[in-house]
């Protein structure tokens, strides 16, 4: 009599479980603090070498999460930029701002792990250590560089290095705003009286506020003043 064979586990499911577990743990405890054993255990893997088998290393898992999540965001952003006029003007700056924010927000709303990803990506973006190869990073963030170039064209009167610095500051801030907002709405942060206003407002109003802030930053003139001059005017 033949014994019933045990079905082999779907490797795609195992990889997905490991990526979800890694994303969740990294977003809460940081990229360095989380161990391979913790990820395996959180993913429900009895085999302690499961992560190493599928991804080679913890760094390989980080890169795989980035590729899996960001590829869709990158594609969506390119589509939004393609929809803008070839020669954009001041009235199209809001379209640029929407392309900067909405792909992240849509991912956060549609994917069960989306809220973990934005916090994971905020950590990855600000980590000085190389977590993702330059080639992979450039491939999957091509829409961000395209968006930055288009935004620079809307600041012709500003010194290019100042304009580039402003865009970089805005990009970093957007990730942190979205990550902090999700931490608050999920009850994972201490709430101040001001935070309750964030919770009582619908998510769309928060995103619209972020878009409006980006537009304001791009349109704001550069004073050209030094820090000493700014302090002297106080």
pLDDT confidence of 196, banded at 50, 70, 90? low
Of all residues in the chain, what percent carry a pLDDT higher than 70? Answer: 82
The alpha carbon of 75 is separated from its chain's Cα centroid by a whole number of angstroms, namely: 14
Residue 179's pLDDT is what?
81
Extract the tokens encoding 41. Answer: 């255990």
Count each helix (H run) and each strand (E run) in the chain, helices first: 12, 0
Mean pLDDT of all residues in 36-46: 95
Q: Which domains does the chain have, with CATH numbers?
A: 64-222 (1.10.357)
Mean pLDDT of all residues in 81-103: 92
Q: How many residues comprise the chain?
A: 234
Say if residues 88 and 96 touch (Cβ distance below 8 Å): yes
What's the chain's average pLDDT? 84
Lowest-confidence range among 84-98, 101-115, 206-220?
A: 101-115
Residue 111 has pLDDT above 80, yes or no: no
Mean pLDDT of all residues in 17-23: 94
SS3 35: coil
Residue 117's pLDDT is what?
87
Q: What's the pTM?
A: 0.81
129/21: higher pLDDT: 21
Break the chain down into helix, strand, coil percent, rounded to 5. 70, 0, 30
Residue 225's pLDDT is what?
63
Residue 138's pLDDT is what?
92
Residue 202's pLDDT is what?
78
Backbone angles phi, psi at 166, to 5 degrees: -65, -45
Residue 137 has pLDDT above 60, yes or no: yes
Of all residues in the chain, what percent carry a pLDDT higher than 90? Answer: 47
Lowest-confidence range among 53-57, 69-73, 144-148, 199-203?
A: 199-203
Mean pLDDT of all residues in 65-89: 93
């Amino acid at each position: 009599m033949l014994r019933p064979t045990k079905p082999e586990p779907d490797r795609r499911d195992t990889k997905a479980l490991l990526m979800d577990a890694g994303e969740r743990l990294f977003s809460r405890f940081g990229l360095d603090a989380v161990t391979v054993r913790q990820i395996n255990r959180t993913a429900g893997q009895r085999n302690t070498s499961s992560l190493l088998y599928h991804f080679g290393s913890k760094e390989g898992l980080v890169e795989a999460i980035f590729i899996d999540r960001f590829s869709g965001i990158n594609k969506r952003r390119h589509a939004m930029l393609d929809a803008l006029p070839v020669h954009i003007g001041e009235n199209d700056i809001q379209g640029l701002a929407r392309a900067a924010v909405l792909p992240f927000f849509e991912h956060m709303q549609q994917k069960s792990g989306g809220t973990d990803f934005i916090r994971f990506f905020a950590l990855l973006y600000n980590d000085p250590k190389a977590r993702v190869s330059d080639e992979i990073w450039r491939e999957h963030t091509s829409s961000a560089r395209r968006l930055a170039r288009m935004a620079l064209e809307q600041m012709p009167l500003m010194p290019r290095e100042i304009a580039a610095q402003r865009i970089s500051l805005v990009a970093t801030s957007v990730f942190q705003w979205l990550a902090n907002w999700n931490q608050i709405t999920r009850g994972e942060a201490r709430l101040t009286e001001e935070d309750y206003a964030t919770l009582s407002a619908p998510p769309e109003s928060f995103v619209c506020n972020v878009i409006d802030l980006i537009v304001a930053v791009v349109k704001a003139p550069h004073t050209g003043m030094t820090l000493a001059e700014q302090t002297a005017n106080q």
